[in-house]
């Protein structure tokens, strides 16, 4: 009878939920889970599994030993001890490959069961086990991410049952290492961070006008000359070009051994690295190294962030067969270094003005019966696709590769909105959606006056509300999506993290979780828990979601008014017009504000209850007027 009462009690306190779950334990404590991305289903029950020195990590296949060691390495620093591993099943943490395929889990799904004396992570494949481990790590106290021993912590994991799988196969982040070079160790850290949120693609933008970052042994000048430029700071596109005789000391590149090490590191985290060699445009570093494959042979210096587009050549000569001979050498080595079936060839923003004047390009157009330079670029892409196919690789390009006719088997990465992705999908091509308005992580993520200098806007809510599958498109052709971090205004890794998180967490949920399980308010609550985890891990992130949004609007009464709002709920906005700093004793915003006579600036702050959460924003009234939209 006692056993039946206990079972009934467990059924009564068990809660099925998604996202943050709360459950009153027998002692009265509250257990809260904040998992990103949102699991498909999750049932939370009374009790905890406690990780102790005697806990054993078990695995039922030798294939899973590296994952047992991975889990050990992730927790041992904070625990102060390593757990034993064993192949036999026992009370502890069990990593189990299924003997029979479970269609409901697919290739990357997992089932996680936590009981008070036992944990089982079960999947069809090792990568499913890996994602179950990532969820398990998020169920531990946030101190588990600390790099130092955390004494006096109860390492409790709430009893739960989770079944989970991804919505999309392609879940990625792109890092641009051309505009600013990031070290091998920083790249590995970025891969580790995206893998923690079940992302599985790292798009490595290795070449551009500002630097060539990968060793090509058959063409050594690519790194001897192409990897280095004059050192500059200041706003991008406003910089002074390299002066005559000025040293070129800023930059760097990855050797073959570096690449192999990073590829192996990513493989251990089930992350596919897709390399990008950006051609035929964005190739100034290439033609500085080898001017014979340009149209004019006139460019001597790698761009430092000064204006050059349409002025200095940065496109390869398509009329020159030597260009394709060099590209064959480059992609031969790229194909050998990267096991991914994909190679990204860029294809974006190619200025074609120099082609129109180039005798070799004009001859190519005549010989190949090409009507215009768009078709000339299409000829280039199709010829490059054949080079990649000879190396058993598939071509991906930005959506400009649609212009002039798309290569037969190309995959399109749609960045200029969704329309070109829709066009490619309707033509039967695979598509990766990455529109600027939702996925460009180099954009402002909050009020520009208190953010580092960049351009345009992509708030956390813009990323979270992204839907990769447009209406009327075969969803099977939408492989997924990714966030892109271009690094013109990202000079170091600390700032790269600031620009990536938490928007990267939002995109992770977009690409993994079902639409039905997404909830903005719940996501924000989980984000705040992950801020704490990031603090313990020493990972930078932006708190821009707490800052006020300032919008000037036209008013018939006073010319214009100031509308204030917030991206998230439960924040109060306080303001002043008298040049004093606002506090929660200042006027509280309720309705659009008229500007008092002779006021020169408005100062704004946000609070949650009695706690200040946002940055103080100070805007001059005359500058605010410039934000008013132009009247038609």
Q: HEC string of 520-574?
A: HHHHHHHHHHHHHHHHHHCCCCCCHHHCEEEEEEEECCCEEEEEEEECCCCCEEE
Cα–Cα dist 631/265, whole Å: 54
Q: What does the pLDDT read at residue 347? A: 97
Banded pLDDT at 146 (limits 50, 70, 90): very high
Give the distance from CA 136 to its chain's centroid: 22
Give the distance from CA 589 to its chain's centroid: 35
Across 271-275, 299-303, 405-409, least confident range: 405-409
Write out the two tokens for 327.
Answer: 């590209």
Please name which of 356, 258, 271 lies closest in space to residue 310, comparing C-alpha atoms: 356
Distances (CA, A) of 8 to 23, 25, 46: 16, 15, 12
Banded pLDDT at 21 (limits 50, 70, 90): low
Please name which of 213, 217, 228, 210 lies closest in space to residue 183, comparing C-alpha atoms: 213
Mean pLDDT for all residues in the chain:
94
Instruction: Report the pLDDT averaged over residues 334-350.
Output: 98
349 a catalytic residue? yes
Q: Which of 180, 282, 344, 530 is catalytic?
A: 282
- Mapping DSSP to helix (H, G, I), strand (E, B) and coil, where does residue 13 land? helix
367 a catalytic residue? no
Q: Which pLDDT tens digit goes with each residue over 494-553?
A: 999 999 999 999 999 999 999 999 999 999 999 999 999 999 999 999 999 999 999 999
Banded pLDDT at 26 (limits 50, 70, 90): very low
Fold classification of 547-625 is: Immunoglobulin-like (2.60.40)
Cα–Cα dist 468/479, whole Å: 9
The pTM (predicted TM-score) of the whole model is 0.95
Q: Residue 381 pLDDT > 60, yes or no? A: yes
Instruction: Report the pLDDT averaged over residues 274-302.
Output: 98
Q: Which pLDDT tens digit goes with each residue over 179-207?
A: 999 999 999 999 999 999 999 999 999 99
Cα–Cα dist 527/521, whole Å: 10
Q: Just give the CATH number of 2-164.
A: 3.30.379.10
How many Å is the Cα radius of gyration of the chain?
A: 27
Measured in degrees and rounded to the nearest 5, phi and psi for residue 211 equal 165, 145
Q: What does the pLDDT read at residue 559? A: 87
Classify strands 342-346 and 394-398 as parallel, antiparallel or unpaired. parallel
Give the domain ranges of the chain.
Answer: 2-164, 174-513, 547-625
Q: What share of the chain has pLDDT > 70, as a percent? A: 95
Q: Which of 186, 349, 403, 528 is catalytic?
A: 349
Banded pLDDT at 371 (limits 50, 70, 90): very high
Number of H helices, E strands in the chain: 18, 29
Q: Residue 4 pLDDT > 50, yes or no? A: no
Q: Which of 208, 276, 312, 385 is catalytic?
A: 208
Write out the two tokens for 145.
Answer: 């991410």
Q: What number of CA atoms fall less than 13 Å from residue 393's CA on the CB side? A: 26
Fold classification of 174-513 is: TIM Barrel (3.20.20)
272 a catalytic residue? no
């Amino acid at each position: 009878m006692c056993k039946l009462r206990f079972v009934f009690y467990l059924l009564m306190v068990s809660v099925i939920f998604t996202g943050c779950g709360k459950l009153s334990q027998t002692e009265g404590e509250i257990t809260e889970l904040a998992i990103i991305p949102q699991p498909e289903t999750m049932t939370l029950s009374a009790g905890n599994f406690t990780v102790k020195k005697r806990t054993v990590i078990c695995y039922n296949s030798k294939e899973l030993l590296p994952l047992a060691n991975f889990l050990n390495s992730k927790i041992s620093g904070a625990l102060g001890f390593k757990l034993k591993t064993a192949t036999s099943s026992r009370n502890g943490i069990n990593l189990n490959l299924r003997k029979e395929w479970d269609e409901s889990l697919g290739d990357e799904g997992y089932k996680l069961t936590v009981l008070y004396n036992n944990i089982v992570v079960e999947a069809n494949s090792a990568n499913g086990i890996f994602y179950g481990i990532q969820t398990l790590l998020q169920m531990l106290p946030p101190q588990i991410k600390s790099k130092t021993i955390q004494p006096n912590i109860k390492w409790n994991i709430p009893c739960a049952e989770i079944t989970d799988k991804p919505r999309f196969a392609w879940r990625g982040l792109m890092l641009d290492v051309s505009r600013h070079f990031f070290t091998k160790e920083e790249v590995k850290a970025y891969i580790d961070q995206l893998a923690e949120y079940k992302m599985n693609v790292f798009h490595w933008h290795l070449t551009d006008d500002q630097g060539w970052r990968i060793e090509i042994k058959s063409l050594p000048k690519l790194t001897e000359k192409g990897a280095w430029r004059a050192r500059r700071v200041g706003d991008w596109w406003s910089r002074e070009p390299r002066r005559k005789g000025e040293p070129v000391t800023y930059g760097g590149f990855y050797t073959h051994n570096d690449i192999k090490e990073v590829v192996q590191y990513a493989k251990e985290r089930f992350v596919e690295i897709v390399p990008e060699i950006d051609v035929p445009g964005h190739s100034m570093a290439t033609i500085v190294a080898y001017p014979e494959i340009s149209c004019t042979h006139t460019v001597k210096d790698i761009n430092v962030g000064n204006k050059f587009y349409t002025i200095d050549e940065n496109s390869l000569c398509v009329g020159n067969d030597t260009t394709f001979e060099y590209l064959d050498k480059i992609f031969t080595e790229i194909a050998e270094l990267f096991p991914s079936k994909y190679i990204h060839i860029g294809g974006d923003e190619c200025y074609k003005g120099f082609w129109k004047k180039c005798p070799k390009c004009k001859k190519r157009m005549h010989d190949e019966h090409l009507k215009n330079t768009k078709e000339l670029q299409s000829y280039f892409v199709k010829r490059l696709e054949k080079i990649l196919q000879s190396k058993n690789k598939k071509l991906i390009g930005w959506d400009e590769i649609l212009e002039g006719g798309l290569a037969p088997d190309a995959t399109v990465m749609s960045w200029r909105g969704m329309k070109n992705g829709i066009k490619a999908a309707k033509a039967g091509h695979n598509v990766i959606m990455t529109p600027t308005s939702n996925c460009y992580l180099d954009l402002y993520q909050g009020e520009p006056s208190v953010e580092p200098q960049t351009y345009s806007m992509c708030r956390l809510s813009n990323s979270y509300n992204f839907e990769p599958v447009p209406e009327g498109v075969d969803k099977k052709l939408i492989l997924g999506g990714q966030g892109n971090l271009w690094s013109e205004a990202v000079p170091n890794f600390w700032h790269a993290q600031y620009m990536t998180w938490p928007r990267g967490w939002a995109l992770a949920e977009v690409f993994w979780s079902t639409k039905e399980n997404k909830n903005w308010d719940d996501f924000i609550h989980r984000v705040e828990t992950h801020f704490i985890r990031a603090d313990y891990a020493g990972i930078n992130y932006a708190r821009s979601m707490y800052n006020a949004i300032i919008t000037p609007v036209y008013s018939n009464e006073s010319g214009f008014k100031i509308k204030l709002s917030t991206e998230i709920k439960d924040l109060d906005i306080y303001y002043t017009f008298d040049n004093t700093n606002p506090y929660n004793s200042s006027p509280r915003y309720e309705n659009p504000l008229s500007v008092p006579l002779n006021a020169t600036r408005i100062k704004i702050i946000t609070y949650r209850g009695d706690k200040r959460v946002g940055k103080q924003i100070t805007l001059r009234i005359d500058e605010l007027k410039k934000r008013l939209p132009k009247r038609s």
